[in-house]
Amino acid sequence: MNLEPNISQEEFERIERYLLNEMSAGEISTFETELNQQPALRELVEEHRLLLIGIKEAGLTEKLNEFHQEIFENNTGTQVSSEETGSKILKTYSSTRSTVRKFIVRSWLVAASLILLAGIGIWWFFNTQNNYSKIFADYYSPDPGLITAMGVSDNYEFERAMVNYKRGEYTEALKSWDKLLASNSSSDTLNYFIGSAHLAGKNAEKAIEYFEKVVADNSSAFRNDALWYLGLANLKMGRIKEAKSFIESSDHEDKQDLLSLLKD
Amino acid sequence: MQEETFKTYSKQAEQVIAIKANDEKTLRVLYLENFPKTEKYVLENNGSSEEARDVFQEAFIAVWRNIQANKFRPENETALSGYLYRIAKNKWLDYLRSGHYKRTTSMTETPDVYESQEDCLSEDQEKYITKVKEQFRLLGDNCKELLTRFYYKQESLKKIADGFGWTEATARNNKYRCIQRLRAMMNHDK
């Protein structure tokens, strides 16, 4: 494809609005008339369409590799919640990488018995104790964290801790952020991520303390996420009434699912 | 009875919507639940686990593409899993038949459901997309993250701007710049 190396931002955004279906019917028809008349524009649109597919697929591929690693690098086994069957099923994927291919059938038998064992375990769990921490585990995934910004930044300390956070080094992250919080006690960003780090570090009690500060700030961009995590943290602590009310106030995509589980 | 059908349909429709939106949870479950079956098939047919991964991921992307393009509508609960498996299996059979594969093996099966794989992109277009993916990896981390959040995760510019600590206008300008950079890389590396 031989294309002009540059298009103006305006032109780019117009093409993008067309491809992302953001145009009104009137605009579409004007644009399509132009498309019919201008081969160069057609080529740009086609180029951009393929670029978008490529970018999306690059994103998808990265995810697929992450999923794959979960299966094969997690020796302790990983839990998958299945929504297709309606009920939550746990599967244990034991790592069988070192197994010689011949024995693959045997390892699947082992996996099958692990699933069975897990099943019995779950049955026991459900029948003997409350299942809230299980529900928590199904619905909780840590906040992915912020992108560490471009170039040199005066938020160096904050961002370095963000890198720790993303790596799962929650204690490290908390060390820096706690220090920063001392001079920025009202920062919703700090409070939110300190809460997130505590929750990811399995300290729901502490997490609640910080998320509550974020929730109190009506203008915070983190408020909605904080409500969701506050609900989950309370759920983990077994405080169902509080959990429900926070989850109810959030607009998280899994909200209805989770609430329906908490009904009975 | 009708209600039952509707329920199944809406469950599938939900799944399709979630896949279209690249909902991570849905994609993850789809991946983790279906990979073992493909792996088993490839291992039983002279392949390795790595080859199983490659063929499964290719199939996964093909299915995802067809769903994005409204070309596949699963009819029941297992349709999507079955479709994914068939494509992976066919891709593996294709590979075995191709020149890459020299080991002797008795293949009695023939690929089925070819028609469901076609995604009306020409070979040139496919090549171009593959190159976009390669070049994309070479972009700076910030561009990668910005573009992934906008196009793949479909986050709003507002949310992305908040994440970077930018104004929405800056996010929009940077998105344009990152795309320009990617285009330049594509044109440069002909």
Element (H, E) at B180: helix B168-188
Interchain proximity A68–B184, CB inside 8 Å = no
Interchain proximity B31–A101, CB inside 8 Å = no
Q: What is the CB neighbour count within 10 angstroms for residue A153?
A: 12
Look up residue A249 and give its two tokens: 């106030």
Euclidean distance between CA atoms A18 and B85, whole angstroms: 35
Q: What is the CB neighbour count within 10 angstroms for residue A87?
A: 8
pLDDT value of residue A185: 83
Across the range A25-54, mean pLDDT stands at 94
Residue B165 has its nearest CB partner, among A6, A61, A149, at A149
Identify all chain A residues contacting B33, using CB atoms and an 8 Å cutoff: 80, 82, 84, 91
Identify all chain A residues contacting B146, using CB atoms and an 8 Å cutoff: 147
Nearest CA in chain B to A138: B25
Residues A176/A158, Cβ–Cβ less than 8 Å: yes
Among A144-158, A239-253, B163-177, which stretch is predicted with the lowest mean pLDDT?
A144-158
pLDDT value of residue A236: 85
Look up residue A181 and give its two tokens: 């919080």
Residue matched to tokens 């970018």: A55
Compute the CA torsion angle A186, A192, A194, A195 (nearest 10 deg). 120
Across the range A138-146, mean pLDDT stands at 83
Largest CA distance in chain A: 72
Instruction: Give the pLDDT band of residue A167 (cuts 50, 70, 90).
Output: confident
Instruction: Give the pLDDT band of residue A5 (cuts 50, 70, 90).
Output: low
Euclidean distance between CA atoms B190 and A11, whole angstroms: 24
Instruction: Give the pLDDT band of residue A38 (cuts 50, 70, 90).
Output: very high
Asked if A184 is an interface residue toward chain B (Cβ–Cβ < 8 A), one would say no
Task: Write out pLDDT tens, residues B14-27.
Answer: 888 889 889 999 99
Interchain proximity B163–A51, CB inside 8 Å = no
Look up residue A84 and give its two tokens: 């297709």
Question: Does the pLDDT of residue B119 top 70, yes or no?
Answer: no
Euclidean distance between CA atoms A220 and A186, whole angstroms: 11
Q: Which A residues 41-60 touch B at CB under 8 Å?
A: 47, 50-60
Q: Which residues of A116-136 are buried (b: 16+ CB within 10 A; e: fewer)?
A: eebeeeeeeeeeeeebbbbbb
Euclidean distance between CA atoms A112 and A28, whole angstroms: 55
Task: Reduce the secondary structure of B123-176 to three states and give it as a string.
Answer: HHHHHHHHHHHHHHHHCCHHHHHHHHHHHHCCCCHHHHHHHHCCCHHHHHHHHH
Instruction: List all residues 6 or more positions away from A104 whose beta carbon is below 8 Å from its beta carbon.
Output: A96, B40, B43
**% pLDDT > 70, chain B:** 81
Chain B nearest CA to A150, separation (Å)? 6
pLDDT value of residue B107: 46
Euclidean distance between CA atoms A166 and A147, whole angstroms: 10
Look up residue A126 and give its two tokens: 């459900």
Across the range A140-149, mean pLDDT stands at 76
Instruction: Give the pLDDT band of residue B162 (cuts 50, 70, 90).
Output: very high
Compute the CA torsion angle B76, B62, A87, A199 (nearest 10 deg). -160
Q: Which A residues 72-101 touch B at CB under 8 Å?
A: 72, 78, 80-84, 91, 93, 97, 101
Task: Quote the mean pLDDT of chain B.
Answer: 83
Chain B nearest CA to A204, separation (Å)? 23
DSSP readout, A127-158?
A: HHS--HHHHHHHH------PPP-SSS-TTHHH
Q: Which of A37, A252, A243 is nearest to A133 (CA)?
A: A243
Query: Mutate which of A11, A20, A63 to disrupt the B interface (most B C-beta within 10 Å)?
Result: A63
Nearest CA in chain B to A72: B49
Residue A192 burial by Cβ neighbours in a 10 Å radius (0-12, 13-18, 19+): buried
Query: Mutate which of B148, B150, B166, B182 to disrupt the A interface (most A C-beta within 10 Å)?
Result: B148
Residue B27 has its nearest CB partner, among A51, A63, A155, at A63
In this prediction the ipTM stands at 0.84
Task: Quote the mean pLDDT of chain A.
Answer: 78
Identify all chain A residues contacting B61, using CB atoms and an 8 Å cutoff: 57, 60-61, 64
Chain A nearest CA to B151, separation (Å)? 6
Higher-pLDDT residue of A127, B91? B91
Q: Which of B166, B157, B65, B74 is nearest to B118 (CA)?
A: B65
Chain A nearest CA to B51, separation (Å)? 13
Residues recorded for chain A = 264
Interchain proximity B142–A104, CB inside 8 Å = no
Task: Write out pLDDT tens, residues B36-92.
Answer: 999 999 999 989 999 999 999 999 999 998 888 777 777 765 788 898 999 999 999
| Alpha carbon separation from A85 to A30, A89, B8, B67, B151 (Å, rounded) | 47, 8, 11, 21, 30
Taken in order B62, B82, B108, B115, is the CA torsion positive or negative?
Answer: negative
Instruction: Give the pLDDT band of residue B28 (cuts 50, 70, 90).
Output: very high
**% pLDDT > 70, chain A:** 76
Look up residue B147 and give its two tokens: 């573009």
Question: Does the pLDDT of residue B117 top 50, yes or no?
Answer: no
Question: Does the pLDDT of residue A146 top 80, yes or no?
Answer: no
Nearest CA in chain A to B14: A84
Euclidean distance between CA atoms A121 and A90, whole angstroms: 10
Among A64-78, A220-234, B2-16, B161-175, which stretch is predicted with the lowest mean pLDDT?
B2-16
Question: Does the pLDDT of residue B2 top 70, yes or no?
Answer: no
Instruction: Give the pLDDT band of residue B99 (cuts 50, 70, 90).
Output: low
| Alpha carbon separation from B29 to A68, A88, B11 (Å, rounded) | 11, 12, 15
Task: Write out pLDDT tens, residues A56-90.
Answer: 999 999 999 999 988 866 534 434 433 333 333 23
Task: Write out pLDDT tens, residues A231-248.
Answer: 999 888 888 888 988 998
Query: What's the gap between Cα B148 and its chain centre?
Result: 14
Chain A nearest CA to B138, separation (Å)? 11
Across the range A150-155, mean pLDDT stands at 50
A6 phi/psi in degrees, rounded to 5: -125, 140
Question: Does the pLDDT of residue B141 top 50, yes or no?
Answer: yes
Strand runs labelled E in A36-99 = none
